[in-house]
Structure formats: C-alpha cells, structure tokens
Structure 1
Amino acid sequence: MAVLIIVLKTIVAVLSILLSLLILLHKGKGGGLSDMFGGGLTANAGTSGVAEKNLNRWTVGIALLWVMLIIAISLIGKLV
C-alpha cells in the first residue's frame, strides 16, 4: 500500500504543476498574473474561442482528476 500512496502522491504533484500552468495560460481579464507574465500583450493577438474552450475543458478535467486522487489518497490512508 505504501508504494501505491507514493505513486499517487507523485501523480498529484505532477498534476498540481500542470494545473498551475494551465491556469496561467487562461486569457486574462486584466490586472492579474496573466498581465504580469505578458498576457496583456498576447490578448491583442486574439485567441480562438475554440482554443479557450479546449483550455477550459483541460483545466476542469485535470482539476477533477486532482481532487479525486487526493480523496483516494485520504481513503487509502485511513485503511492502512
């Protein structure tokens, strides 16, 4: 069981980094982190509505997977 928990925690760590990057990729509404990292400059280039929808889908999907893995780790930890 210890190996399973370590593997799940590693996956959660990787998903955390990926989720942070996906959130930073979202189109900024102004005055936030996206402007600080150059989001204001790329906003004029015009991102596709389809690209933004796909980015939203990926972000929500990975966030749900992240939450499910954390719940699974918690439940496995209670069994051990």
Structure 2
Amino acid sequence: MTALLVIFLILWAVSGVGLIVFVLLHSGKGTGLSDMIASSLYSTQTGTNIIEKNLDRITIILAVVFLVCLIALMFVYPQGTISA
C-alpha cells in the first residue's frame, strides 16, 4: 500500500462518516404527502438561519470530498489489482 492510497482511504472513510452524520443533523421539512401539499399552498417559509446554512455548506463540502476521493481511488487503485 502506498502512502497516497492510505491518505485517500482515510479521507474517504472520514468524509463518508461525516456525510452520514451531517445529513442526519438536518431538520425535517415535513413527514408526509399532506405536509408537501400544505407547504406548497401556504408557503410559510421564514428562511433558514445561519446554523442551517452552515450545515448545508458543510454537507456539500463533505459530499464533494467523498466523490473526489472516490474518483481518485479509482485511478490509484484500479480494478483487478486486489489479490486475495
């Protein structure tokens, strides 16, 4: 294992766990079809506060890091190189 492979694997795993945690931290907007219909009719959107905006930013950054690491791992560790 090369150092580059280890770095990408650790970054990929940390960003994956972080992505799960931050997605679960998001507040729910509604719990069913009736809430979806009611929200479109009554548009009571008051805007998001700064905490929710930062939570969105962190989630997007973690998703981008996860995808970049995944694509980089495809090139660093190509298919067929794993020997049992």
- Establish whether TM, by shorter chain, passes 0.5: yes
Unmatched segments (≥5 aa) in structure 1: 33-47
Task: Give aligned-pair identity as a percent.
Answer: 33
Calculate the aligned-residue CA RMSD, in Å: 2.1
Unmatched segments (≥5 aa) in structure 2: 33-47
Per the TM alignment, residue 62 of structure 1 is displaced from its structure 2 partner at its CA by 1.1
1:8 counterpart SS class: helix
Amino acid at match of 2:65: L
Partner of 1:59: 59
Asked which structure has the greater CA Rg, the reply is 2
Deviations 1:17-74 (A, max 9, x none): 1110100111112339xxxxxxxxxxxxxxx611111110110011101100110111
Greater RCO, CA 8 A, separation 6+ = 2
Report how many aligned residue pairs link the two structures.
Answer: 64
Q: TM-score by structure 1 length?
A: 0.67
**Counterparts of 1:7 and 1:50, CA distance in 2:** 32
Partner of 1:70: 70
